[in-house]
Structure 1
Amino acid sequence: MDPATIIGIVVAFGALFAMLTLEGSHLSSILLPAPMVLVFFATIAVGIAGGTMKDFFISVKALPRAFRGKTTPPQLVIDQVVGLAETARSKGLLALEEEANNVEDPFLKGALQNIADGTDGDELRMLLEDEIATKSKSDRIAARFFMSLGGYAPTVGIVGTVVSLTHVLENLESPDTLGPMIAAAFVATLWGLLSANFLWLPIGTRLKRLADLEVERMTLLMEGALALQSGSQPRVLGERLRAMVPAEALSEAA
């Protein structure tokens, strides 16, 4: 689990609360139900309106992934493929069908089964590339949804401020209350900016990054499977796959 998103969001809100404390203010000055309800619910509503209900459900389902951030280190992928290459070299390609039964990853399992079935190399490459493209397209739906929320939220906050200021102008006969009412009016803009930059945009960016990492993992598996099919030597295969990965990624702890 990579806690980057959780740490970042907690520290960001912590900095906000520290600022309020240092300025002698109170959380109650920004925790106003009316503007928060408008900003959060209206932002999500217009986000749904900009896509489909299926997009929304996919995005909600993907939300926990943004916080868990579970990824597979490239070195583990390389070691797995090299191990399969050693098996194929000693027992033949047909032995990969038995190995496929012990593999949990459906992408790699399908690749091994196709190799054992004697699928042509060019056809196998096209099949695997199509699977990668489809997976990437699916994963990016959630990222685009949350990025769109980050775009809508500030404007929704401004709408809330305009509505509140209209109410302020209706009560000019009470000058003693104008200050607090005007301050409260700008809370909607504050929450629009906060939700966009502290929540929606980081979550969307995080999901996009995870989608990119998944594509990189699947690409490693694809190149490894194709090289395995062509009878590549395990040591050479390992070097080739390591050459496809940045050095800092290879140094990550498994």
Structure 2
Amino acid sequence: MDINSILGILFAFGAILGGNFLEGGHLSSLMQFTAFIIVGGGTVSACMVQMPLRQFLGGWKMLGWVFMPPKLNPAEAIEKIVGWSNIARKEGLLGLEAISENEPDLFARKGLQLLVDGSEPEMIRGILEVDISTKEHHSLSSAKMFEAMGGYAPTIGILGAVMGLIHVMNNLADPSKLGGGIAVAFVATIYGVGSANLFFLPFANKLKGVINAQTRYQEMIMEGVISIAEGENPRNIETKLQGYIY
């Protein structure tokens, strides 16, 4: 679990609500269901128009990575790759066949299968690079959904503010209805700007960081598999791959 993301959100709420309290404001003044519907519904709808359904749904599926990113253990992966190299030197590449069948990481399993099949190093690189590039492109496209939401939300918030002011202007003769319209106007702006800068844009950048880490992890595995195919010394392979750890 990424405790930094959870703490960041808690601190954001604490800072805003705490500042509102210090200024003499009340929590109820920030709770406007109408403003929430305008900003939330408008922002999501704009994203649905912008991107294909698969990309839109993929973004929501990846949201959990902000709090629980996929577990990557480069040190453990290097240890496994060095073990594969030792087996290949002692038993030949066919000695990796049983290991490839039981490898839980699909990308590593594909690399091992290419090794067992006797593929040339350049062919292995070409095949695995396509896999890495395709997955990275798909993941980044889904992560951009939150980036798009961060762009639309403030504008939709302004739209909600204008709608609230229109309501105020239409009810100038009835002072009892002015408060609600003014509240919707200002709270909609807060929702739009706040959601963009506290949630959507940070979510997008966090997901990009997770995707970048996954890409580097797979590149490390690819280099290890290619090094085994080229018959490099296990110790040299370990030294090379340790450069991916930072």
- Asked if the contact 1:71–1:213 (Cα under 8 Å) also holds between the matched residues in 2, the reply is no
Q: Could you list the per-position Cα deviations for residues 118-174 of structure 1 after superposition, in whole angstroms to 9, with x for gaps in the alignment?
A: 111111110000000011011112211111000000000000000110111112224
Task: Say whether residues 1:120 and 2:120 are aligned partners.
Answer: yes
Paired letter, 1:213: A
Paired letter, 1:40: G
Map of 1:13 onto structure 2:
13
Give the Å deviation of 1:101: 1.7
Task: Say whether residues 1:150 and 2:155 are aligned partners.
Answer: no
Task: Say whether residues 1:34 and 2:34 are aligned partners.
Answer: yes
Specify the SS of the correspondent of 1:70. coil
- Asked if the contact 1:146–1:200 (Cα under 8 Å) also holds between the matched residues in 2, the reply is yes
Map of 1:69 onto structure 2:
69
- Asked if the contact 2:160–2:184 (Cα under 8 Å) also holds between the matched residues in 1, the reply is no
- Asked if the contact 2:216–2:244 (Cα under 8 Å) also holds between the matched residues in 1, the reply is no
Tell me how far apart the structure 2 counterparts of residues 4 and 78 of structure 1 sit (CA, whole Å). 27
Give the Å deviation of 1:43: 0.2
The 5 A counterparts of 1:138-177 are 138-175=138-175
Quote the RMSD (CA, aligned, Å): 1.5
Specify the SS of the correspondent of 2:2. coil
Q: 1:60 to 1:244 in 2, by over 3 A?
A: closer
Deviates more, 1:226-235 or 1:7-16: 7-16
Q: Could you list the per-position Cα deviations for residues 36-79 of structure 1 after superposition, in whole angstroms to 9, with x for gaps in the alignment?
A: 11101110110110111111111122121222123313212211
Paired letter, 2:232: S
- Asked if the contact 2:47–2:148 (Cα under 8 Å) also holds between the matched residues in 1, the reply is yes
- Asked if the contact 1:2–1:70 (Cα under 8 Å) also holds between the matched residues in 2, the reply is no
Greater helix fraction, Structure 1 or Structure 2: 2
Give the Å deviation of 1:178: 4.1
Structure 1 gaps of 5+ residues are 250-254
Paired letter, 1:188: A
- Asked if the contact 1:3–1:69 (Cα under 8 Å) also holds between the matched residues in 2, the reply is no
Question: How many residues get paired?
Answer: 246
Give the Å deviation of 1:20: 1.4
Structure 2 gaps of 5+ residues are none
Paired letter, 1:57: L
Task: Say whether residues 1:222 and 2:222 are aligned partners.
Answer: yes
Normalising by structure 1, report the TM-score: 0.92
Give the Å deviation of 1:27: 1.1
Give the Å deviation of 1:4: 2.3
Give the Å deviation of 1:182: 2.3
Map of 1:191 onto structure 2:
191
Normalising by structure 2, report the TM-score: 0.95
Give the Å deviation of 1:97: 1.1
- Asked if the contact 2:168–2:177 (Cα under 8 Å) also holds between the matched residues in 1, the reply is no
Give the Å deviation of 1:179: 5.5
Map of 2:47 onto structure 1:
47
Tell me how far apart the structure 2 counterparts of residues 222 and 4 of structure 1 sit (CA, whole Å). 30
Tell me how far apart the structure 2 counterparts of residues 37 and 177 of structure 1 sit (CA, whole Å). 20
Paired letter, 1:30: L
Paired letter, 1:173: A
Map of 1:252 onto structure 2:
none
Specify the SS of the correspondent of 1:60. helix
